[in-house]
Amino acid sequence: MPGISAAERWNSGAARFPNLSSSYSGALLLVDTRNRWRMLLPSAVNSEEAKGLAVPATILGGCMLFGLVLGGWLLGTEIKDIKLADRYVTVKGLVERTVKSDTAMWPVTFKEAGNDLPAAFAKSEEDKAAVLKFFAAQGITPQEISVGQIQVTDKQANEYGNNSSGPRYIVQQTVTVQSADVDKIARAGEKTAQLVQAGIVVGGGFGQGGITYKFTGLNALKPDMITEATKNARASADRFAADSGSQVGSIRSANQGVFSISAANAAVENAPDEDGGAQGADAQADASLVKKVRVVATVDYYLVR
């Protein structure tokens, strides 16, 4: 279009597209020599902005890939742990200690019977004096002796029976010795025959004249025995794992077991079982001056390749 300047052409284009600036913000309009209009968007004009959009997309893709890898690793670890949970071995660790009793208790019970209550009581008092004299001769101090209450039984006053045979009254007394000098009490128990010779019938029971021995130092032994029992259990697990081509892992569960005290020379059938439970050996243990302390620790160990 000869005779028309470039400014006039621009104004003419703006008049023909009055809403161009509002519809395409930042668009660039060009006009050629044939008066045909061309519109280019900013994305086509500025390639640097297009490159900038590719960076966040790359980061997002990398994050998604990392998430997939991490999720697969966690899933594999969980499956491995589930499989390992089924691979374990149960072992027991046994520890025994031979100890000496530290407390002795000796109750001496004697009875007198008769139809005359005062006479029976007087005879019972004579028996008590003889018992106390015997204890004093064995070096037992008055602080180690306690005298129980007198028990009198009138058989004719018994509401649940009519036993008229024999003496009517029975007078019973008990003198008890308790001492930490167990050897002294054991020596005195060996001389129980002297009481029998004095006409005193000593009450029965296990041991020497019914002497019972106790060991009260168990709490001091427990920590070391538990540690040793656990070590023994671990050694058994290591041997088992070596034979099976595995390795011992962490502890799955553990039970220290029950401490038991039995006679040192108790037979196998009367000894406590593996879990520390007694099998009728309490009476023998009480009568034994030397005792056996026993504990069995049960431990489950994981096995790993």
More confident residue, 67 or 90: 90
* Least confident segment among 139-143, 170-174, 213-217, 243-247: 243-247
Instruction: Render the chain in DSSP notation, one character per residue.
Output: -TT--HHHHHHHHHHH-TTHHHHSTT-EEEE-TT--EEEE-HHHH-HHHHHHHHHHHHHHHHHHHHHHHHHHHHHHHHHHHHHHHT-EEEEEEEEEEEEE--EEEEEEEEEEEESSHHHHHHHHHHHHHHHHHHHHHTT--GGGEEE---EEEEGGG-TT----SS-SEEEEEEEEEEES-HHHHHHHHTTTHHHHHTT------SSSTT-EEE---HHHHHHHHHHHHHHHHHHHHHHHHHHHT-EEEEEEEEE----EEEETT--GGGS--TTS--SS-HHHHHH-SEEEEEEEEEEEEEEE-
More confident residue, 12 or 65: 65
* Entry field: residues in the chain: 305
More confident residue, 163 or 300: 300
Q: Do 297 and 93 form a contact (C-beta atoms < 8 A)?
A: yes
Classify burial at 264, counting beta carbons within 10 Å of its beta carbon; exposed 0-12, middle 13-18, buried 19 or more.
middle
Q: Which residues pair with 303 in a beta bridge?
A: 248
Task: Note the pLDDT of residue 299.
Answer: 93
More confident residue, 159 or 124: 124
Instruction: Report strand pairing: 103-114 vs 169-179.
Output: antiparallel
- 16-58 pLDDT per residue, tens: 545 544 444 444 444 444 444 444 444 444 555 555 556 666 7
**Does 198 have pLDDT greater than 50?**
yes
More confident residue, 204 or 107: 107
Please state, in angstroms and rounded to a whole number, the distance separating the CA atoms of residues 20 and 12: 13
Average pLDDT over residues 83-89: 68
Task: Note the pLDDT of residue 295.
Answer: 94
Task: Note the pLDDT of residue 235.
Answer: 93
Beta carbons within 8 Å of 14's beta carbon, 6+ residues apart: 20
User: Hey, what domains does the chain have and what are their CATH numbers?
Assistant: 6-45 (no CATH), 87-100+216-304 (3.30.110), 103-214 (3.30.70.2970)
Please state, in angstroms and rounded to a whole number, the distance separating the CA atoms of residues 173 and 219: 36
Task: Note the pLDDT of residue 9.
Answer: 52
Confidence band (pLDDT; 50, 70, 90) for 82? Answer: low
Confidence band (pLDDT; 50, 70, 90) for 88? Answer: confident
* Least confident segment among 16-30, 164-178, 250-264, 277-291: 16-30
> What's the mean per-residue pLDDT of the chain?
77
- pLDDT cut 70: percent of the chain above it: 65
**Does 222 have pLDDT greater than 60?**
yes
Confidence band (pLDDT; 50, 70, 90) for 279? Answer: very low
Task: Note the pLDDT of residue 165.
Answer: 75
Beta carbons within 8 Å of 209's beta carbon, 6+ residues apart: 106, 108, 189, 192, 195, 202, 203
**126 token code pair:** 């004579």
* Least confident segment among 134-138, 151-155, 228-232: 151-155
More confident residue, 30 or 194: 194
